[in-house]
Amino acid sequence: MRAFLSLLRAIWGEAVGLFIDDGRFAAFILAWLVFAVLALPRLLPHSPAAPLLLFAGLALILVDSAVRRARRG
Amino acid sequence: MTFAQAAPTVLAALMASLVEFVEALTVVLAVGVTRGWRSALAGAGLALLVLAGLTAALGPAILAVPVRLLQLGLGALLLLFGMRWLRKAVLRAAGVIPLHDEAAAFEKERRALSGPDRSPRAARALDAVAVSTAFKITLIEGVEVAFIVVALGAAGPSALAAASLGAGAALLLVIALGFILHRPLAMVPENTLKFGVGVLLCAFGTFWIGEGAGLAWPGGDLSLAGLVAGYLLTALFARRLCAAPREALA
């Protein structure tokens, strides 16, 4: 039973690790997505700028996070 | 669904699944070589049965979720997953973190599993450590593949079929190579694959979020190609920025 629970814990840990290995990075992505989904359709309805902003924010988060990690060495 | 629409889905599922199946194969091979093939294949087979059961149970439940909610949920998960992969691939390509080495992973697993030589009779019996090791890695990597297939197939049954086709082709390819070579697939350019897959997963995730939020993509489905190009350029730019301080130090 203990071995089974340990196996389940390991699988759960791996499943969470699929999506999050840097909490700050994941939090920024989710925060931007919440803003984009709730605000962009209201601020820029039917505008092609809205999806471009969605992409630009995510690209910026990716570059910022990678550069921060590289600077830490 | 036309070939042009299905091709990116098949390719993304094939490349992503290939990476996951190669990782599983490395550990299953190490288990087989060290503790016996019966136990390795029993563990991997049991995990595939559990995965099939989970898919059969959860598949109909996913189809009951409203499409926009499904696009938002799967898009967010796909972005968390894809951005994590792409960031890691960028850092590996820039030399910030070491490349993943399948041969080293195989040796590490083989050493961890090796013990006193087993008699031929014992080698034929099932070994609990070997079965659970093969079971765990196959289940974990299999869950990742199942998630990728479901997320890439969020557009509907034809997209799901295209994603399943890509994953199935990757599985057959890895099984065939493992059967022929009997050693880890160290020659697979894993980081290049992860770089490419990360770009594709991010593009699909962004597209689904936009669709779920009701944003107007310029060019409709064709904007997916623009997103792929955008993420590729962003990742190459990030790689350059990450490598720059290290090159200055060298």
For residue B14, being part of any structural domain is answered with yes
Q: What is the pLDDT of residues B155-180, one digit of tens each?
A: 777 888 888 899 999 989 988 887 77
- Does residue B250 lie in a domain region? no
* Domain assignment of residue B232, given as a range: 3-244
Distance from CA of A17 to the nearest CA of B (A): 9
Full-model pTM: 0.80
> Distance between CA atoms of B94 and B88, rounded to whole angstroms?
10
Output the average pLDDT for chain B. 84
CA-closest candidate to residue A34, choices A44, A26, A46: A26
User: Is the predicted ipTM greater than 0.85, yes or no?
Assistant: yes
> Are residues A55 and B227, on separate chains, in Cβ contact within 8 Å?
yes
CA distances from B130 to B64, B103, B233 (A): 39, 19, 44
Residues 62-91 of B with CB under 8 A from A: 72, 75-77, 79-81, 83-84, 86-88, 90-91
Q: What is the pLDDT of residues B94-139, one digit of tens each?
A: 988 887 777 777 777 777 777 655 555 555 667 888 888 899 889 8
Taking an 8 Å cut-off on Cβ atoms, the answer to whether B215 and A7 are in contact is: no
**Between chains, do A61 and B94 touch, taking CB under 8 Å as contact?**
no
Q: Which residues of chain A does B136 touch, with a Cβ-Cβ cutoff of 8 Å? A: 7, 10-11
Q: Does B61 reside within a domain? A: yes
In A, residues 10-69, which contact B (CB 8 Å cutoff)?
10-11, 14-15, 18-22, 25-26, 29-30, 33, 36-37, 40-41, 46-48, 50-51, 54-55, 58-59, 61-63, 65-67, 69
Q: Which residues in chain A have their CB less than 8 angstroms from residue B86's CB?
A: 62
**Is B249 domain-assigned?**
no
Instruction: Show the 3-state SS of B19-65.
Output: HHHHHHHHHHHHHHHHHCHHHHHHHHHHHHHHHHHHHHHHHHHHHCC
How far apart (Å, rounded) are the C-alpha atoms in residues B144 and B142?
5
Angle value at C-alpha A71, between A62 and A35, nearest 5 degrees: 25
Confidence of residue B187 (pLDDT cuts 50, 70, 90): low
Of all residues in chain A, the one with the smallest CA distance to B146 is: A15
Contact between B113 and B246 (Cβ < 8 Å): no
Count of structural domains, chain B = 1
Q: Where are the domains of chain A?
A: 21-72
